[in-house]
Amino acid sequence: MSFDYDLFVIGGGSGGVRAARVAAATGAKVALAEERRLGGTCVIRGCVPKKLMVFASEYRDRMQEAKDYGWSVEVGDFEWGGFHSHLRSELERLEGVYRDLLKSSDVEIFDTRATLKDPHTISLKDGKDVTAKHILIATGGHPVKPDMPNANLGIVSDDIFHLKELPKRLLIIGGGYIACEFACIMHGLGVDVTLYYRGAQILRGFDDEARGLISDMMGKRGINIHLGTNIVEMRLAGDVDDTSHTVTASDASMGPSNLQQQEMRTNDDGGTDGPIWIKSSNGREAVFDQVLFATGRTPNTQDLGLENTEIEVGRRSEIIVDEYSQTAQPSVYAIGDVTNRVNLTPVAIREGMAFVETVFKGNPTPVDHDLIPSAVFTQPELGTIGMTEEDAREQEPVDIYCTSFRPMQGAFIGREDRVLMKLIVSKETDKVLGCHIVAPGAGEMIQLAGVAVKMGATKAQFDQVCAVHPTMSEEMVTMKTPMRSA
């Protein structure tokens, strides 16, 4: 049977674009369809714009530090409009780069929605059908709001980048890395931030000691964290009887009676331009200008036509694949967040590369999801690779090497911020099973430490490395005695 294409990719994010380009380089005829913007979540709605906001949010503290170091600096207000305009221009530039890369690789681009008609046929939204020998689904995922009345009044992380202006008071619902990153970003930009998380501690799944320190540091910076707390009711403040409750937000100068006269506007991306009345599970009632739901993401599998194939979908709407990213339908593969394996951009790219090796280069290559370094861009940052202390000690006896201290740069000017350096070491083999860093620049540090951990380095080999002095990271090679054993 002849096909229009050797490969048709559905989804123009980082994983799909890389797979399309590399497959085309083998001589395959490749096409790609993207219904929104090339670049996907990472480039357009996630990693890139978020990191640029991280950079912007750090300057207020840096300018204050500069003053404390003797510089004449005046710290003014953050101007969202100018930054936002520059951000939009940069994202448009990056989208153009992705488009040019695909064109230069001879990948045909369809700027439309694509669905599966059968195992080898793709239906495009304009009514055209095309066929492909192989189909790769790389449609990613999207943030979701909780199933509760008036959830539409809130926004999700995608919407942050489209705000016309920054809220004065922001409530964030959630305690994962997205919630915590945006809490730090928005606080750094001058927003009064409150965070509700139903769990006992933020950043569930990360090392307990590391996430505890980050929680403490966020609180000391002025982020109002309420643990064991969830939202139970939300309404437009103008719809609330001002005699029925007491406002207890950190800035409570405007109760509902003051707010009823304000115009309630729904913005283009969902949510409102404020204000919103909230009741929490602990009985607290407060008013915020905006509510951000950071309560999870779900794979983009709805209405893809998967029912026209043998593809299996899991209970979290993820496409089920084997170690080679192949679905139950042999002609269809899937990579990235739509499979809900490890939802990180570099992982999606590596999955795409492994797919091409397997299908187009005749070199069956399973995806390696072991020992993946990652970072959480809170303030301070968290860099991590390998096992947490809690997971490691359930597996085998371990030694815990760790130190927490005030780094020189901040201690000199009286800052209370602390950093953490931590190694999880097997007692039997001396192998470093995990590394966790809480510090400014931890994301940069963990990339390099990750090389050693991935290679299977032992604690003795860490110790053989001469320290770079004076640095924070030198502690990684100077911790001689375990803090504790388990």
Tens-level pLDDT at each residue, the chain (486 residues)? 799 999 999 999 999 999 999 999 999 999 999 999 999 999 999 999 999 999 999 999 999 999 999 999 988 899 999 999 999 999 999 999 999 999 999 999 999 999 999 999 999 998 899 999 999 999 999 999 999 999 999 999 999 999 999 999 999 999 999 999 999 999 999 999 999 999 999 999 999 999 999 999 999 999 999 999 999 999 999 877 643 444 444 443 333 333 333 333 445 555 565 699 999 999 999 999 999 999 999 999 999 999 999 999 999 999 999 999 999 999 999 999 999 999 999 999 999 999 999 999 999 999 999 999 999 999 999 999 999 999 999 999 999 999 999 999 999 999 999 999 999 999 999 999 999 999 999 999 999 999 999 999 999 999 999 999 999 999 999 999 999 998
Q: Is 320 helix (H, G, I), strand (E, B) or coil?
A: coil
Q: For residue 266, what pLDDT is reported?
A: 45
Cis amide linkage into residue 167, ω under 30° from 0: no
Structural contact between residues 435 and 457, judged by C-beta atoms closer than 8 angstroms: no
Picking from 36, 33, 44, 35, the residue whose alpha carbon sits closest to that of residue 9 is 33
Phi and psi angles of residue 336, each rounded to the nearest 5 degrees, phi first? 80, -160
Phi-psi region of 408 (alpha: psi -120 to 50; beta: other; left: phi over 0): alpha
Q: For residue 52, what pLDDT is reported?
A: 98
- DSSP, residue by residue, 302-315: TTS-GGGSS--B-T
Those residues whose C-beta lies under 8 Å from the C-beta of residue 445, and which sit 6 or more positions away, are: 383, 437, 439, 473, 476
Picking from 350, 308, 304, the residue whose alpha carbon sits closest to that of residue 325 is 350
Topology, domain 5-143+298-361: FAD/NAD(P)-binding domain (3.50.50)
Helix (H) / strand (E) containing 210: helix 208-221
Phi-psi region of 15 (alpha: psi -120 to 50; beta: other; left: phi over 0): alpha
Report the catalytic residues.
Answer: 469
Instruction: Tell me where in the chain the CATH 3.50.50.60 domain(s) lie.
Output: 5-143+298-361, 146-238+269-294
Q: Which ranges of 235-383 does DSSP label H, i.e. alpha helix? A: 256-259, 345-359
Q: Which residues of 256-286 are buried (b: 16+ CB within 10 A; e: fewer)?
A: beebbeeebeeeeebbbbbbbbbbbeeebbb
Picking from 450, 116, 117, 160, the residue whose alpha carbon sits closest to that of residue 291 is 160
Structural contact between residues 139 and 10, judged by C-beta atoms closer than 8 angstroms: yes
Helix (H) / strand (E) containing 44: none
* CATH class of this structure's domain 146-238+269-294: alpha beta
Residue stretches of the annotated binding site for FAD: 51, 337
Residue stretches of the annotated binding site for NAD(+): 174-181, 296
* CATH class of this structure's domain 374-485: alpha beta
Instruction: Tell me where in the chain the CATH 3.30.390.30 domain(s) lie.
Output: 374-485
Q: For residue 238, what pLDDT is reported?
A: 80
Q: For residue 274, what pLDDT is reported?
A: 63
pTM of the predicted structure, to 2 decimals: 0.92
